[in-house]
Chain A
């Protein structure tokens, strides 16, 4: 009971690789139904977005994504759950508006509250759950002799039954006064375009943060082959395709980490590191733009649409990666990487890493 569960094969994170074709995207009507877009929108709170482009695409992309666009804004605020569920904050932001909030803590260990699309989800430990008196479901690994050490409670706050005066809402408010009454640090982001005029958030003294884009300049490197050949896409050579996609993902991850190993002039002793860029491409300069903060999946989708609309020639490639906040163990994040190779037919490669939760 006191020892930690060793992660089994069923609890490991999984990576799914997709190769497909994107249709034409219209910036005014962003797509939401087809494959790469559903993955991008379906992410939870996004922590980091990286865009990797070669030199040809960089100028136009910089103008479209960095110069002409405001950096996404989010606030850090200390509130108790009771403050979130009462007063103008509740009526303006939660009932009428569109916000997302995440409280401080690690999901399997501390009590974490998150609010997304009007659904309040609370990850509680056993004592807090039993004291709160709200109905929930057991959370985490099944079994362990019927002991249920962690619980999840969900409330759909936008519904009519969640108004002051109703019984269910009354129980939630009573719990927020008794068991869940401690003030907690939240990350808050308003997803709608307008703010309510007497801003109910100001009374809690929020600190504003901006996810300003950071740019890594002129990384000189050889680019590996970005396009899988027709032979690779054959169904018989699954191992070769796996090898190709893993190597390409490894190279993209090293670029995102700004690792010195991909640098052209890198001369580390092969005893220490045997990594070599796959293939033998030409020397190019690539640029990386990153945003880090409390970002929404909708903003990521809009960024991808702008990126696709503004990439100068169809023969320039780009890579767009998002990392979300980790749910269970630190480092066990869900990620999504989309690479458009330098062709004109709108093909894309997508790697989707799902955490085991």
Chain B
């Protein structure tokens, strides 16, 4: 620039002189250094005209309509507002869910089949992928001691908690974390035929007691069906 002293000009020219002849030095210095074009930033955004604005508005509307057509699950706030998963007051009775429990007992006896009384991997895997809506559970061990002793029928099995209705018609939400639940599956009643004598009282097997570690069970019931359970070391034990 003009305010550069003579000495600086000379430095540029001196450096160029090391590579070019004198005429070339003059030309290059004037064209490329002194008269260097200075690029300013372009105007942003480009000034819009009505047509471009209309085009943009139409594209946006089309996208929104496409999005609204895609089915999406309800968010937590929407669910709470709609109250879809609440059990109505009249329905919060233990007696209402007892038939569900009986259905569940039949279902689980079918699921377990012959292996009702063996312990090991096979009945464990079957139980793990079974559904627990309608099971009668009791909280047997918990990091939060006030939960111990809650007993009732499962009315909702969500990812992290069981919703249980107790005999006193109270609905309790019990988190699965750090909690151990116990279920009893009664023995399937054997059909009594006239030729075979009914088995004596001592020979009838007792009910099968299952303890579920809630920590390892924190999956939705539909996700659990296809899951392979591996043994994990639990930090609460």
Contact = CB atoms under 8 A, between A and B. Distances in A.
B146 A133 contact: yes
A178 B142 CA distance: 14
A174 B141 contact: no
Contact of A127 (B141, B145, B147): B141
Interface of A: 127, 129-136, 171, 174, 178
Nearest to A148: B143
A135 B146 contact: yes
A174 B139 CA distance: 13
A132 B147 CA distance: 10
Interface of B: 140-143, 145-149, 236-237
Contacts of B236: 130
A206 B148 CA distance: 34
Contacts of B142: 130, 133
B211 to A, nearest CB: 11
A132 to B, nearest CB: 7
A127 to B, nearest CB: 7
Nearest to A147: B235
Given A133-B147, A178-B140, 15 more contacts: A127-B141, A127-B237, A129-B145, A130-B142, A130-B143, A130-B148, A130-B236, A131-B141, A132-B148, A133-B142, A134-B145, A135-B145, A136-B145, A171-B149, A174-B149
Contacts of A174: 149
B143 A133 contact: no
A133 B140 CA distance: 9
Question: Which of A127, A130, A132, A134 has the most C-beta atoms of chain B within 10 angstroms of its own C-beta?
Answer: A130
B106 to A, nearest CB: 29
B150 to A, nearest CB: 10
Question: Which of B143, B147, B148 has the most C-beta atoms of chain A within 10 angstroms of its own C-beta?
Answer: B148
The 4 closest A-B pairs by CB, nearest first: A133-B148, A131-B141, A130-B141, A133-B145
Tell me the interface secondary structure of chain A in the complex: helix
16 contacts: A127-B141, A127-B237, A129-B145, A130-B141, A130-B236, A131-B140, A131-B141, A132-B145, A133-B142, A133-B146, A133-B148, A134-B145, A135-B145, A171-B149, A174-B149, A178-B140
A166 B141 CA distance: 23
Contacts of A178: 140
A326 B141 CA distance: 31
Contacts of A131: 140-141, 148
A346 B132 CA distance: 77
Contacts of A129: 145
Contacts of A136: 145
A131 B142 CA distance: 7
A325 B186 CA distance: 48
Nearest to A131: B141
Contacts of A132: 145, 148
Nearest to B149: A133
Contacts of B147: 133
A179 B146 CA distance: 15
Contacts of A171: 149
Contacts of B141: 127, 130-131
A123 to B, nearest CB: 16
A145 to B, nearest CB: 10
A171 B149 CA distance: 9
B80 to A, nearest CB: 30
A283 to B, nearest CB: 64
B167 to A, nearest CB: 15
A136 B142 CA distance: 13
Nearest to B179: A130
B165 to A, nearest CB: 20
Contacts of B143: 130
Nearest to B143: A130
A258 B148 CA distance: 53
A135 B141 CA distance: 13
Question: Which of A127, A131, A133, A136 has the most C-beta atoms of chain B within 10 angstroms of its own C-beta?
Answer: A133
A198 B146 CA distance: 38
Contacts of B149: 133, 171, 174
A287 to B, nearest CB: 54
